Amino acid sequence: MDPWHKFRRIFYSVGIPPTIWLIAFFLVPLGLIWIFSFGEKVGVVGIDITWTLDNYVRSFNPDILTIFAKSLWLAAVATFICLVIGLPVALGIVYAPNKWKGLLLLGIMLPFWTNLLIRTYALIAVLRTRGYVNFTLEWLDGAARWFLELFGMGGIALAILGERFQALELLYNDNAVILGLVYVHLPFMVLPLYAALERLDRSYLEASLDLGAGHLRTLWNVVVPLALPGIISGLIITFIPALGSFLTPDLLGGPDSAMIATIIERQFKSANDWPFGSALSFLLMYITFGALAIRALMARRRGGDGMGG
Amino acid sequence: MTDGAKTIIGIRSVTKRFNGNVLAVDDVSLDIKSGEFFALLGPSGCGKTTLLRMIAGFEVPSDGSVEIDGQVVDDVPPNKRPVNMVFQSYAVFPHMTVADNVAYGLKMDGVSSSEAKGRVEEALGLVQLPGYGERMPDQLSGGQRQRVALARALVKRPKVLLLDEPLSALDAKLREAMQLELRNLQAKVGITFVMVTHDQDEALSMADRVAVMESGRVRQLAAPRDLYEFPNCRFVADFIGKMNLFEGVVKSSAGSEISVGIDGIGDVRLPFDGSAQGKIGIAIRPEKAMVTADKPSDEDCLSLEGQVTQVAYYGNESHVFVKTASGLDFSVTTQNNERSVVAATNPGDRRWVSWRRKDTLVLAE
Amino acid sequence: MAKRKGLFGRDPAGPLDYLRKWPLLTVMIATFVFLYVPLLTLMAFSFNDSRRNIVWRGFTTEYYGKLFNNTDLMIAFGNSLTIALFSTFFSLILGAMVAILLWRFRFPMKPFYEGTMALPIVIPEICMGVAMLAFFARIGWPNDLVWPISLANITIAHISFTFPFVAVIVRARLAGFNREQEEACRDLGAGDWEVYRDVIIPHMKPGLVAGGLLAFTLSLDDFVITFFTSGPETVTFPVKVYSMVRFSVTPEVNAASTVLIVITVFLTAIAMWLQNKGAEKK
């Protein structure tokens, strides 16, 4: 690497345009809503910058706090489910035959490349009352009835299955949001886990088995502690976008499954309260930065104490 | 030593194919006796590590079976086998203290923590790391980590200890010290050791018996001395130590003598007990030959005249390379017994290379 | 002795062949079913000859025909492609510059600069979306411009979040550059600019192609940021699909989705392939 002052001309020519762009079209807009967050709404469109903390104070009223708590909860549950699914999947891929490895990783990545909106829509098509899941259930229900009828147990069928098939309400509730978050964010979890496990010398696992531990105890005593940096990284990388999700709760959630992004959007569109929306945006960003800081801190500590093995 | 001892590990016509076709181990059968130090020796890719891993249970034979102490263990997972392994990379868990590492196997066996504590101290004493229990692995040197790996395996009192290239990661000086120490340790604990190595010095100096492997097969199984002095085939003769190898054709064989026509040497009679026909290999160890200015008069010697092409000086010995008039390249190891800065032999000198008939090896294979 | 066969009738499984043990195999298969069944049924039913969209009634491409006759959707698609093309072009230039800057030079506050440059990648999309909305509203961006100038605000927003991605990819490519090539070039008499023209930029090429394709798909796919910057006259494909999705599940939406899936998967696959090829050469 060269010191910048030795090649000033090149340094300035490649440095100035992107820096100006970043400032003008990214940092200035962010700065603008940061300033807005200390403003007051005047009339329909006006904003008066009074450096009030009111918007932040309002964020701590119970309604908003509930939504924050709920967002954190939904994102956390989804992240945890991603971990529970992602760990065995990553482990399976790492120890798969070489020719399968790439294909399986690609298989995990491929849905990730398709449009977020479309993936969410695909879930709606599957889960809605007249969707494939309910359709399959109805068919199973019909088959069960027919089967019981055949043996003259229509009464039992009526008792267990009820008068007629009731479609499950799988959409527009918190569970649908969690399912959607898992669906969308699973690759975020699998990839760092894969990277961490791939780096893990397989003799550690073999040594553990050799010393008498079963697979589960090996997983808990050896794999999880040694892959911990990767696991934490995966948790944070999954949690951050899950927390900031807008489309998933918007399309899959019910009236009370609003997440932070939902109320931010509301302030900027229907409620037209930009200062409050700006304050909420910054609170969301601060949480994000906090999570990233934890990750960086972990990475530094791991790097520092020579966990190479 | 081990004669008549019972078989602790029986390899019964074991074959291992990877991905359905790559043949790693090819129909190997051998018995490892209780209490011996056994070495699997061979070049990389010869299947020795695969064989060791099949004993440990990390690979399952495609064909044949492995017996440990009389029991077929093919369906027994590694964690249920009464053998333990010292890995090439040691695989000392970096997130546990030395004591926790050593106690790990005991914990898995449900040994009470008070008993485990005593056994861990004992095991650490055995590998000369007493009082190291509270250290973390990254505070230890490579040699110390290896001792931890040893203690961790030995503390479980396995029927067999498996060692995968145990000395390959150590520097030369430490390796030599460790060779002796491992030998002593084995004698002390009386556990069967099975070691995989590609280093012939290691195998010869440490093991009671050595199986030399090549391309998935065992070429010779013998005690170190027999292996060195009486290799049974060209591969073993060439792989173990240095060797002058020539091609010959059997003319006739009668009783304990054989008449051979050797390319570049001519027809000679050699003592030989077995039977051989057609093309054979003739081998002479460099240190069993001599370089002299005049033709030796001894009738029991075979001799060739040639020109010295190169002399490599190693301090204690020198390697003299001679090209004979018939075009053979011959290397002779000479001991530098006298203190002198003047070489007795120099490139360009005309010399006689000679060796005794009985030191000539006839290799049917 | 009997040959042992494992699952799939091949060699017996070793203890770490997890995929050949049923608990893990079950999780793996279930995961892939979970990931793919919704998308595949969506694509399959875009060819279903039934509005009810649930029972297979035979193959038809009718909805693709309808798609192409749907003027609103086609305009939205045109907008999306235009925006993606322009934002790819500019984010390639800016991204390549950042890549060279960070790969090549040591300068004060570099970690801080790198962190700031990564911000568009890490901050929640919604925050960036509302920031862009506020920004364009505040500077009084006119919304009665002629096409395609009217798409400039969306394009600007897209460039802001795509060029850091391009920078990451191109920089990874540059990391594999052998400085001796450059020294050889100088040794043969090249100056600073010739070195870039003749050695460094050609080396960057696979990274630029991969980065460009990524920028294109990111722009084509983006919904959230576009949602806040687009006006009634500047609707993009995802925004249009969003309004259709809100309304109901129809075969037209399935067809539109399928088109977008095929485009993005295809482009990303090319990008990945190029990137791997670049990595192998290294």
Specify the pTM.
0.84
Using a CB–CB cut-off of 8 Å, the residues of B that contact C are 12-13, 16-20, 57-65, 74, 77-78
Q: In chain B, which residues have their Cβ closer than 8 Å to the Cβ of A95?
A: none
Q: Is B74 in Cβ contact with C4 (below 8 Å)?
A: yes
Q: Chain A to chain B, count of Cβ pairs less than 8 Å apart?
A: 71
Q: What is the pLDDT of residue B125?
A: 93
Residue A283 falls inside a structural domain: yes
Residue A179 falls inside a structural domain: yes
Q: Is B94 in Cβ contact with A309 (below 8 Å)?
A: yes
Q: In chain A, which residues have their Cβ closer than 8 Å to the Cβ of B56?
A: 206, 210
Beta bridge partners of B331: B321
Mean pLDDT of chain A: 87
Confidence of residue B10 (pLDDT cuts 50, 70, 90): very high
Q: In chain A, which residues have their Cβ closer than 8 Å to the Cβ of C132?
A: 29
- CA nearest to C5 within chain B: B62
**Any chain B CB within 8 A of the CB of C21?**
no
Cα angle: C166, vertex C167, C172; to 5 degrees: 100
Confidence of residue A307 (pLDDT cuts 50, 70, 90): very low
In b/e form, how buried is each residue of C23-38, taking b as 16+ CB within 10 angstroms?
ebeebbeebeeebeeb
Asked whether the ipTM of the predicted complex exceeds the cut of 0.85, the reply is yes
Q: Is A307 in Cβ contact with B93 (below 8 Å)?
A: no
Q: Is A28 in Cβ contact with C196 (below 8 Å)?
A: no
Q: What is the pLDDT of residue B82?
A: 94
Please name the chains neighbouring A, where neighbouring means 3+ C-beta pairs under 8 angstroms: B, C
Q: Of the ranges A185-199, B144-158, C42-56, C110-124, which one carries the lowest mean pLDDT score?
A: C42-56
What confidence tens digit (pLDDT) does each residue in C64-75 have? Answer: 888 888 888 889
What confidence tens digit (pLDDT) does each residue in C191-225 have? Answer: 888 888 888 888 888 889 889 988 998 999 899 99
| B92, B109, B137: residue with CB nearest A212 | B109
Residue A16 falls inside a structural domain: no
Q: Is B78 in Cβ contact with A206 (below 8 Å)?
A: yes
Residue A159 falls inside a structural domain: no
Residue A261 falls inside a structural domain: yes
The answer to whether A234 touches A188, Cβ cutoff 8 Å, is yes
Residue A163 falls inside a structural domain: no
Residue C278 above 70 pLDDT? no
Q: In chain B, which residues have their Cβ closer than 8 Å to the Cβ of C15?
A: 57-58, 77-78
Q: What is the pLDDT of residue C12?
A: 73
Residue A176: give the domain boundaries: 58-128+170-301
Residue A154 falls inside a structural domain: no
Q: How far is C18 from chain B (nearest CA, A)?
A: 12
Residue A188 falls inside a structural domain: yes
B73: part of which helix (H) or strand (E)? none
Q: Of the ranges A142-156, B235-249, C192-206, C218-232, which one carries the lowest mean pLDDT score?
A: A142-156
Residue B319 above 50 pLDDT? yes
Give the three-class secondary structure for C10: coil
Q: What is the pLDDT of residue A149?
A: 80
Tokens, residue C109? 């506050």
Beta bridge partners of B28: B14
Q: In chain B, which residues have their Cβ closer than 8 Å to the Cβ of C17?
A: none
Q: What is the pLDDT of residue C279?
A: 60
The CATH number for A250's domain is: 1.10.3720.10
Q: In chain B, which residues have their Cβ closer than 8 Å to the Cβ of A210?
A: 56-57, 78-79, 84-85, 153
What confidence tens digit (pLDDT) does each residue in A1-34 have? Answer: 788 888 888 899 999 999 999 999 999 999 999 9
Mean pLDDT of chain B: 90
Q: How far is C1 from chain A (nearest CA, A)?
A: 27
Q: What is the pLDDT of residue A17?
A: 96
Q: Of the ranges A74-78, B216-220, C37-41, which one carries the lowest mean pLDDT score?
A: C37-41
Q: What is the pLDDT of residue C145?
A: 81
Residue A257 above 90 pLDDT? no
Q: Is C106 in Cβ contact with A4 (below 8 Å)?
A: yes
Residue A127 above 90 pLDDT? no
Confidence of residue C156 (pLDDT cuts 50, 70, 90): very high
Taken in order of first residue, the domains within chain B and their CATH numbers are: 7-231 (3.40.50.300), 242-363 (2.40.50.100)
Q: What is the pLDDT of residue B203?
A: 93
Name which of B53, B59, B67, B83 to mutate to probe chain C: the one with the most chain C Cβ atoms within 10 A of its Cβ: B59
Residue C76 above 70 pLDDT? yes
| B20, B58, B60: residue with CB nearest C4 | B60
Q: What is the pLDDT of residue A304?
A: 44
**Any chain B CB within 8 A of the CB of C15?**
yes
Q: Is A91 in Cβ contact with C18 (below 8 Å)?
A: yes
Q: Of the ranges A183-187, B166-170, B217-221, which one carries the lowest mean pLDDT score?
A: B166-170
**Any chain B CB within 8 A of the CB of A211?**
yes
**Any chain A CB within 8 A of the CB of C210?**
no
* Mean pLDDT, residues C68-93: 93
* Mean pLDDT, residues C48-54: 71
Residue C43 above 70 pLDDT? yes
Q: What is the pLDDT of residue A309?
A: 30
* Structural domains in chain A (count): 1
What confidence tens digit (pLDDT) does each residue in B197-227 have? Answer: 999 989 999 999 999 999 999 999 999 999 9
Which is more confident, C192 or C24?
Answer: C24
* Mean pLDDT, residues A243-255: 91
Q: In chain B, which residues have their Cβ closer than 8 Å to the Cβ of A217?
A: 108
- CA nearest to B93 within chain A: A204
- CA nearest to C4 within chain B: B62
Q: What is the pLDDT of residue C1?
A: 41
Share of chain A above pLDDT 70, in %: 97
